């Protein structure tokens, strides 16, 4: 059995918390690795070294930092298969999906290779006579990231490449369920030329997180995970005067209008609802069918495809959907299916027989006639369970999306430009797709939801990420050759002189 270690100051370190985490292969249910968690004391050490390295790292020019990102890019490409395998073995998603995830993380690294361009600032000559003004964005110091299990590579890469290329040092707290890929990515960062101690990677639970949230040397915290934990992290981190962005849970609706292309909509729903076993914060978990005819046709085309999903381990041939992450998660999803039946929704496809396999499998499930008062509609299930809600009009569909507590992603499938335009303008959700089921913004844009899907107001990566990990300084300067007027005691505008 492999025992993993944390990486602090470039060295492998054994954790000192009381907790020993088991890491599973979800397709067999067997423990494959272990790691002793990071204690508060271990986190203190990681933060201390990150703080010591901050001054020297922040003085490395952005072009030199970018060069390390170029090296890192090459190493990720060279090692993609190994990274993807580590993801699939611990998370359970298919190998192709894991490779796709590494690719999306890689795009953030590529964005960071142009960090000197992203940090370029404004300069205004002659804001007043002989006086110039310019802005600089400077790094904050030690930043920290707390990440979920469902994207072991991509979500960490939303954070540390941006923070580090902006000149910060970083403490990354990986999910205790899927740590191997994040640890390997940290090793590759060092191989790329990053000085030891600039990126420190630990694995732990609430004990480690609470130290991050209260340690006075940590200046900013990025969190991605569930809403209850994210809300706690936002409140606790803010209370300790940190900049916090917390990207949280979701219930993503896809509206299907009567004029939508049925085949395109069906394929989109299958991939977006059942890909990665529904364990994506941008998964479609509710289809709002406008008109009974639309709902009936969709169910007719979806049901056979859901029943024939090829479910298995990541390395089985032609596998389309893997297991969910844990026994606990499998049981939680099964209890939602029970409650959907009890509440009167119609279970059109029942995937529960897949639980007979070893591992944490659940087959694709499809509920029809779901109503907004049911918990399968209100709650994030985070599994391969799709609800169909029937409405009569587009206005009813829009109101449903807007009334839901979450606002991460949404999509509309239609051929009508007016309806699509009305939807994109009026929907209260952060990421919107038009005939695109999972509208995850690419690296140069920013990722983030609305309502209870995001706390702290700041989206992640792209220019929002650069702004989050830097602070603005504005310099106003005059040189001795400028106008001399003696001491001035009143406030002036640029027009005064
Ligand atoms: P989680 O909230 O259980 O865990 C996230 C992180 O917080 C982990 O590192 C975990 O160790 C830590 N944590 C867990 N409980 C804690 C506690 N009580 N105190 C302090 N820290 C704690 O989430 P998860 O199950 O790992 O991931 C799934 C969730 O993440 C889903 O809700 C999903 O929607 C969300 N997610 C959101 C986005 C987004 O961008 N909005 C992206 C990916 C995942």
Q: Which atom of ligand 1 is nearest to the CA of 447?
A: 40
Residue located nearest, by CA, to atom 31 of ligand 1: 226
Is the minimum distance from the CB of 250 to ligand 1 under 6 angstroms? yes
Cβ(98)–Cβ(85) below 8 Å: yes
- In this structure, the answer to whether residues 468 and 359 fall within a common structural domain is no
CA–CA separation, 135 vs 364, rounded Å? 53
CA–CA separation, 434 vs 423, rounded Å? 9
Residue located nearest, by CA, to atom 23 of ligand 1: 225
CA–CA separation, 213 vs 43, rounded Å? 11
Tell me if residue 281 is catalytic.
yes
Confidence of residue 143 (pLDDT cuts 50, 70, 90): very high
* Conformational region of residue 346, where left means phi above 0, alpha means psi within -120 to 50, and beta covers everything else: beta
For the cut 80, the answer to whether the pLDDT of residue 162 exceeds it is: yes
- List, in sequence order, every residue forming a beta bridge with 394; answer none if it has no partner: none
Question: What is the pLDDT at residue 495?
Answer: 72
Q: Which of 296, 290, 289 is nearest to 393 (CA)?
A: 290
For the cut 90, the answer to whether the pLDDT of residue 488 exceeds it is: no
For the cut 70, the answer to whether the pLDDT of residue 194 exceeds it is: yes
Is the minimum distance from the CB of 217 to ligand 1 under 6 angstroms? no
Report the CATH number that the domain containing residue 89 is assigned in CATH.
Answer: 3.40.605.10
How many Cα neighbours within 13 Å face the side chain of 404?
Answer: 35
Torsion angle defined by CA atoms of residues 114, 103, 452 and 411, in that order, rounded to the nearest 10 degrees: 110
Residue 470, SS3 per DSSP: strand
DSSP E strands: which ranges in 185-267? 199-203, 218-224, 243-247, 252-256
Confidence of residue 497 (pLDDT cuts 50, 70, 90): low
Question: What is the pLDDT at residue 147?
Answer: 98
Is the minimum distance from the CB of 329 to ligand 1 under 6 angstroms? no
Report the CATH number that the domain containing residue 366 is assigned in CATH.
Answer: 3.40.309.10
Instruction: Please give the share of the chain, as a percent, with pLDDT higher than 90.
Output: 95
Q: Is residue 439 part of a domain?
A: no
Confidence of residue 486 (pLDDT cuts 50, 70, 90): confident
- In this structure, the answer to whether residues 384 and 462 fall within a common structural domain is no
Instruction: Please give the share of the chain, as a percent, with pLDDT higher than 70.
Output: 99
Is the minimum distance from the CB of 408 to ligand 1 under 6 angstroms? yes
For the cut 80, the answer to whether the pLDDT of residue 493 exceeds it is: no
- In this structure, the answer to whether residues 257 and 233 fall within a common structural domain is no
Question: What is the pLDDT at residue 11?
Answer: 98
Sorted by sequence, the CB contacts under 8 Å of residue 172 that are 6+ apart come out as 144, 145, 147, 156, 159, 160, 182, 186, 199, 200, 201, 202
pLDDT in tens, 444-474: 999 999 999 999 999 999 999 999 999 999 9
For the cut 90, the answer to whether the pLDDT of residue 360 exceeds it is: yes
Is the minimum distance from the CB of 281 to ligand 1 under 6 angstroms? yes
pLDDT in tens, 70-114: 999 999 999 999 999 999 999 999 999 999 999 999 999 999 999
In degrees and rounded to multiples of 5, residue 104 shows phi and psi of -70, -35
Is the minimum distance from the CB of 460 to ligand 1 under 6 angstroms? no
pLDDT in tens, 53-70: 999 999 999 999 999 999
- In this structure, the answer to whether residues 464 and 417 fall within a common structural domain is no
Residue 221, SS3 per DSSP: strand
Mutational test site, ligand 1, from 226, 231, 333, 445, max ligand atoms within 8 Å of CB: 226
State the average pLDDT over residues 151-175: 98
Q: Is residue 177 part of a domain?
A: yes
CA–CA separation, 22 vs 190, rounded Å? 27
State the average pLDDT over residues 270-291: 97
For 78, 232, 361, the CA distances from 458, given in Å and listed in that order, are 33, 16, 35
Question: What is the pLDDT at residue 483?
Answer: 66
The stretches of 308-428 forming alpha helices (DSSP H) are 327-342, 375-378, 394-403, 417-426
143, 181, 248, 281: the catalytic one is 281
* Conformational region of residue 29, where left means phi above 0, alpha means psi within -120 to 50, and beta covers everything else: left
- In this structure, the answer to whether residues 206 and 310 fall within a common structural domain is no
Q: How far is the CA of 261 from the centre of ligand 1 (A)?
A: 35
- In this structure, the answer to whether residues 312 and 340 fall within a common structural domain is yes
Among residues 434, 466, 483, which one ends one of the domains? 434
For the cut 80, the answer to whether the pLDDT of residue 482 exceeds it is: no
Q: How far is the CA of 225 from the centre of ligand 1 (A)?
A: 3
Q: Is residue 445 part of a domain?
A: no
Task: Give the pTM.
Answer: 0.97
What letter does residue 194 receive in the DSSP assignment?
P
In degrees, to the nearest 5, what angle opens at C-alpha 380 toward C-alphas 394 and 244?
Answer: 105
How many Cα neighbours within 13 Å face the side chain of 74?
Answer: 8
Among residues 404, 434, 464, which one ends one of the domains? 434
Q: Is residue 181 part of a domain?
A: yes
Q: Is residue 68 part of a domain?
A: yes
Q: Is residue 202 part of a domain?
A: yes
User: Which domain range does residue 273 map to?
Assistant: 252-434
- In this structure, the answer to whether residues 256 and 243 fall within a common structural domain is no
* Biggest alpha carbon–alpha carbon distance for the chain: 87
What letter does residue 375 receive in the DSSP assignment?
H
Q: Which atom of ligand 1 is nearest to the CA of 147?
A: 9
For the cut 70, the answer to whether the pLDDT of residue 214 exceeds it is: yes
Residue located nearest, by CA, to atom 21 of ligand 1: 206
- In this structure, the answer to whether residues 32 and 152 fall within a common structural domain is yes
- In this structure, the answer to whether residues 395 and 467 fall within a common structural domain is no
Q: Is residue 484 part of a domain?
A: no
CA–CA separation, 241 vs 452, rounded Å? 21
Query: Where does residue 268 rank: exposed (0-12), middle (13-18), buried (19+ CB within 10 A)?
Result: buried
- In this structure, the answer to whether residues 262 and 299 fall within a common structural domain is yes
Q: How far is the CA of 148 from the centre of ligand 1 (A)?
A: 4
Is the minimum distance from the CB of 209 to ligand 1 under 6 angstroms? yes
- In this structure, the answer to whether residues 419 and 340 fall within a common structural domain is yes
Sorted by sequence, the CB contacts under 8 Å of residue 220 that are 6+ apart come out as 140, 143, 144, 163, 168, 242, 243, 244, 245, 468, 469
Antiparallel, parallel or unpaired: β 142-146 and 169-174: parallel
DSSP letter for each residue of 110-147: HHHTTHHHHT---EEEEEETTEEEEEEEEE-SEEEEE-
Is the minimum distance from the CB of 159 to ligand 1 under 6 angstroms? no
Q: Is residue 348 part of a domain?
A: yes
CA–CA separation, 169 vs 198, rounded Å? 5
Query: Where does residue 72 rank: exposed (0-12), middle (13-18), buried (19+ CB within 10 A)?
Result: buried
For the cut 90, the answer to whether the pLDDT of residue 487 exceeds it is: no
- In this structure, the answer to whether residues 13 and 42 fall within a common structural domain is yes
Q: How far is the CA of 234 from the centre of ligand 1 (A)?
A: 13
State the average pLDDT over residues 247-271: 98
CA–CA separation, 53 vs 47, rounded Å? 10
The stretches of 240-326 forming alpha helices (DSSP H) are 262-274, 292-307
| Number of domains forming the structure of the chain | 2
Cβ(170)–Cβ(163) below 8 Å: yes
Structure-model confidence comparison of residues 179 and 479, the more confident one? 179
For the cut 90, the answer to whether the pLDDT of residue 262 exceeds it is: yes
For 316, 324, 405, the CA distances from 335, given in Å and listed in that order, are 28, 14, 22
For the cut 70, the answer to whether the pLDDT of residue 279 exceeds it is: yes
């Amino acid at each position: 059995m492999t025992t993993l270690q944390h990486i602090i100051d470039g060295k492998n370190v054994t954790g000192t918390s009381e907790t020993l985490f088991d890491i599973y292969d979800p397709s067999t249910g067997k423990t494959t690795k272990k790691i002793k968690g990071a204690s508060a004391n271990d986190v203190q050490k990681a933060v201390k070294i990150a703080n010591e390295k901050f001054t020297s790292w922040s003085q490395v020019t952005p072009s030199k930092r970018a060069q390390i990102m170029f090296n890192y890019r090459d190493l990720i490409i060279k090692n993609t298969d190994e990274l993807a395998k580590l993801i699939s073995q611990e998370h359970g998603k298919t190998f192709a999906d894991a490779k796709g995830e590494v690719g999306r993380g890689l795009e953030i690294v590529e964005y960071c290779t142009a960090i000197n361009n992203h940090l370029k600032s404004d300069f205004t000559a002659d804001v007043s006579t002989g006086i110039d003004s310019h802005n600089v964005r400077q790094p904050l110091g030690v930043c920290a990231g707390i990440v979920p299990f469902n994207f072991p590579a991509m979500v960490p890469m939303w954070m540390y490449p941006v923070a580090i290329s902006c000149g910060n040092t970083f403490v990354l707290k990986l999910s205790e369920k899927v740590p191997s890929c994040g640890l390997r990515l940290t090793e590759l960062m060092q191989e790329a030329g990053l000085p030891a101690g600039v990126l420190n990677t630990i694995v732990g639970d609430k004990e480690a997180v609470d130290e991050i949230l209260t340690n006075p040397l940590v200046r900013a915290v990025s969190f991605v995970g569930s809403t209850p934990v994210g809300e706690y992290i936002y409140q606790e981190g803010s209370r300790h005067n940190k900049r916090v962005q917390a990207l949280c849970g979701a219930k993503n609706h896809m509206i299907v209008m009567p004029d939508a292309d049925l085949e395109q909509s069906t394929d989109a729903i299958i991939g977006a609802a059942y890909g990665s076993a529904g364990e994506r914060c941008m998964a479609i978990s509710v289809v709002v069918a406008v008109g009974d005819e639309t709902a009936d046709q969709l169910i007719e085309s979806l049901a056979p495809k859901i029943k024939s999903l090829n479910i298995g381990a990541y390395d089985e041939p032609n596998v389309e959907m893997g297991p969910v992450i844990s026994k606990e998660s499998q049981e939680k999803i099964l209890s939602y299916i029970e409650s959907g039946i009890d509440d009167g929704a119609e279970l059109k496809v029942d995937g529960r027989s897949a639980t007979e396999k070893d591992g944490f499998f659940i087959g694709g499930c499809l509920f029809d006639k779901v109503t907004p008062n049911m918990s399968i509609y209100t709650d994030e299930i985070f599994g391969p369970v799709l609800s169909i809600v029937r409405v009569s009009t587009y206005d009813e569909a829009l109101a449903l999306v807007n009334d839901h507590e979450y606002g991460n992603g949404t999509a509309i499938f239609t051929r009508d430009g007016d309806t699509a335009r009305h939807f994109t303008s009026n929907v209260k959700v952060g990421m919107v797709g038009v005939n695109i089921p999972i509208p995850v913004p690419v690296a140069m844009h920013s990722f983030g939801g609305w309502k209870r899907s995001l706390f702290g107001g700041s989206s992640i990566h792209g220019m929002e990420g650069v702004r989050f990990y830097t602070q603005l300084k504005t310099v106003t300067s005059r040189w001795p050759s400028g106008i001399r007027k003696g001491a001035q005691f009143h406030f002036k505008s640029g027009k005064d002189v």
